[in-house]
Chain A
Amino acid sequence: MRFLSAAGLVTILSGLGAYYATEQLSWFSIVNLIVGPLLLVTVVVVEIGRFRGFTGASSRRVALRWGLGIAAVVAASLAANLLGMRWHSTIDLTVERRYTLSDQTLLICEQIAANRDTEAPSLLFLEDALMAKEVRPLIEAYRGACPGLEVRETRATDAPPEARALLSSADATVLACQPGRCELAGFPSEENISNALLRLGRKRHVRVDFLVGHGEVNLASENEYGFSGLAGALRDEGIQVAALVGAAARAVPKETTVLVVAGPERNLLPAELAAIERYLERGGSLLVLLEPGVTTNLEPLLGRWGFELPKGVLADRAGSPLLEDPKPTSLLLRSYNPFHPVTRKLSNRTLLLMPGARAVIPARKPRPDDDLEGLVFSNRSAWLEKDVVAALADRAIAPDPDEPLGQELPLAAAGRYPRARGEARIVVIGDRDFASNRLLLALYNRDLFLNAVLWLAEDDEHISLRPKAWTPHQDPFTLQQTLAYFYFLAFALPEVLLLLGIHAWYRQRGA
């Protein structure tokens, strides 16, 4: 019997081992997985005599009672598990709260729940996504947070017909689908999945044109000062991005939802300035990023719409020590306008990082009906450094003793201008590099830019805080650390435990 039980165990282990090693249910595994349990059942049947007698007259009542008791425990466990699945409750203890869905995702879920009668989107996790080790808690998080969303794990062959065209892509791991249409999410991360849902649900076409030709940042550039990351982030949310050569275009195109002027270094042509003025008068939206130390003829235009742009660069000793490369001009910002849609979701726990920014003061409304507000403000310890060259060259700077400190200076401002042909909207931000590839994903920089674009596009319902990008730890263990672990864990600790065991054995024999 002992041999049979051992043989049963060995065959089961061999069958499972062969399956896990080859990831295939081969004939070898099947035969072993059938023979092994049969051997064990044989052992149990033959050895049944060693079990308690279940048939004795005196134990019949006890058998019934405990049989019912066990059935009740099984039923209660199943019911508790079913309830647990229904009321999904989790505690995310990861440092980055990786499985706690972001504000953006929760907003999308709310919108899906509100429209569930008319549209029924579903999220399909294909086999390749399920291979990714971290995807399972993410699936559970979506199931728990999005009751209006059908979350399915499916084989590629069972995907709906509208998904077939997308399945040839190497990124075909997660699909967001509605009847008649699917969007590909790519690698199964919260950011990709939520963006796919966002694209699926976007009803209005939004096009953002970046003015080029005056030294503005390059949308296609992948270097650290380029804007390729920003262009990608806009496209991921279903926003069309295009470059607009101002000198070649007589007017801002009608299809343009938002015009972005991202840090021009040279003057615009008078015709371009006139085109922008006409665009705003007909209810257009303009986003301007400025750089300290650079003066162009865009500033008088912004002045006519109420923005005052004092010369100088903002400096602050308070925020910079937190950074790896401390400079007074590298600002950590945490003071926002809590009432404006662009910054309403930001708080003193959601910081921005701007490396060299200028002040943007909402000074005077062109008309009484206009609305002009500051969006982002410096710390009270900040000052406006007039010597821009010295500040940006990292030379020593200090606040002017004659200038009072203690004011929160605005670095970004927004204006609404109701006009006869539509409402014009303008956002001016006193820094360009905060949205560059180097800093876009730092802190909440991306959220400020994308939320400003959404507000300008009058798409307030999608303004949110996006999932934070996860940075995995990829540091190797040094040789010394590895050897220390090896000696301590594989030898020293077992040695101590074994000595304790020998001591217990001698004591038992002595007793």
Chain B
Amino acid sequence: MTQRLWALFRKELRTLFASPIAYIVLTVFVALSGVYFFQHLLNYNRLLFVFQSGAISGGSFDAGTIPLQVNSLNDLFIPTSNDLSLFLLAVLPLVTMRVFAEERAQGTDELLLTTSLRPWEVAMAKHVTTYLFVLLMLAVSAIYPAAVVIKSHLGMEHLLALYVGQLGYGMAVAAIGLACSSLTQSQIVAAVLAYAIPFLIIDFTWLHPVLSQGVAQVLDEFALQSHFDSFARGVIELRRGLYFGGIIALGFTVSVGSMEFARAR
């Protein structure tokens, strides 16, 4: 079984990296992150300059002092981390849309399913390959938050917490995309669903004005972004991990279930 899984896994890796789409996605992700990081850097330096020069306090007794809330963690590290998570959301469906749907459109999934391979083995190989790609994206982009961590002495452990959160978040978004891809043979439909579902559950604060407080709090427990924030603050919480784990398990189950349908049909 291990050998079959390994062979499937190698095949998926070859398919992913033989196509230029992986590199284009990586390039777009890194370029977007870089430009936005640079923008945050400029804003942060500008903010420090404005406070140090006393331009905001208008020459009062606290002229030249920088408020505690203005610091590299709040104004550079956290916005950069949030950007990375949003960019993951923006580019991952481009990778996941083709994973199952393309095979289905070309009919190669039928070939796979007529062999002795079990659907869960096929789904596992596809999921693990995609998660590895998420890991690669995060590794390439690690340079932005790492620069802030080193300069601001936030500690490598803080960076580790962020990346545990980013990985959980990225894997959850990828699992949703893979589940969507397994349900259809149209890559467009898979992409639309892979964008729509995470966008719908990313954050519910926009609904707060029209909801009661209790309902808003319950709804927030299902929001993707609220589960990511504490990792960016340097705290690993068990329940956040369980939330991401739940989405990943659900995505995998839907993918396997969808393949079982194909076999039963």
Q: Which residues of A contact B (CB under 8 A)?
A: 1-2, 5, 8-9, 12-13, 16, 19-20, 25, 29, 33, 37, 40, 43-44, 47, 50-54, 56, 58-59, 61-63, 65-67, 69-70, 73-74, 76-78, 80-81, 83-85, 87-95, 98-99, 132-134, 136-137, 140, 153-155, 158, 472-477, 481-482, 485-486, 488-491, 493-494, 497-498, 500-502, 504-505, 507-508, 511
Shortest beta-carbon distance, B156 to chain A, in Å? 9
CB atoms of A508 and B19 under 8 A apart: yes
Q: Which of B238-265 contact A (CB under 8 A)?
A: 238-239, 241-243, 245-247, 249-250, 253-254, 256-258, 260-265
Query: B264 touching A473 by the CB < 8 A rule?
Result: no
Contacts of B74 in A (CB 8 A): 133-134, 472
- Shortest Cβ distance from B153 into A: residue: A473
Chain B residues with CB under 8 A of A95: 153-155, 157-158
The size bracket of the interface on B is 35 or more
Question: Which stretch, B3-11, B28-36, B110-118, B125-133, touches the partner chain A?
Answer: B28-36
Q: Is B250 a contact of A74 with CB atoms below 8 Å?
A: yes
Interchain CB contact under 8 A, A5 and B41: no
Residues of A within 8 A of B124 (CB): none
Contact A89–B253 (Cβ < 8 Å): no
Q: Show 13 residue pairs from A and B whose CB-CB distance is below 8 angstroms, ordered by the A residue.
A: A5-B192, A12-B196, A50-B185, A62-B263, A74-B246, A74-B250, A83-B242, A155-B213, A472-B71, A473-B72, A485-B37, A491-B34, A504-B22
Give the shortest distance, in Å, between B165 (CB) and chain A (any CB): 11
- Residues of B within 8 Å of A13, CB to CB, are 199
Within 8 A of A (CB), among B17-47: 17-20, 22-24, 26-27, 30-31, 33-35, 37-38, 41-42, 44-45
Are B254 and A476 closer than 8 Å at their CB atoms?
A: no
| Closest Cβ–Cβ distance, residue A225 to chain B (whole Å) | 20
How many angstroms between the C-alpha atoms of A433 and B70 in the bound complex? 31
Provide the bound-state CA to CA distance between A155 and B31, in Å.
Answer: 41
Mostly, the B contact residues are helix
Q: Could you tell me if B71 and A93 are in contact, using CB atoms closer than 8 angstroms? A: no
Inter-chain contacts of A504 with B (CB < 8 A): 17-20, 22-23
- B189: interface (CB < 8 Å): yes
Query: Does B186 reach chain A (CB closer than 8 Å)?
Result: yes
- The residue that A140 contacts in the complex, of B49, B155, B213, B230, with Cβ under 8 A, is B230
Q: Which of B141-167 contact A (CB under 8 A)?
A: 143-144, 147, 151-155, 157-158, 160-161
A94 to B243, CA, bound (A): 22
Which B215-233 residues sit within 8 Å CB-CB of chain A? 217, 221, 226, 229-230, 233
Say if the beta carbon of B135 comes within 8 Å of chain A.
no
Pick the residue among B199, B239, B265 that contacts A84 (CB under 8 A): B239
Inter-chain contacts of B91 with A (CB < 8 A): none
A489–B144 touching, CB < 8 Å: yes
- Which of A13, A90, A473, A488 has the most chain B CB atoms closer than 10 A to its own CB? A473
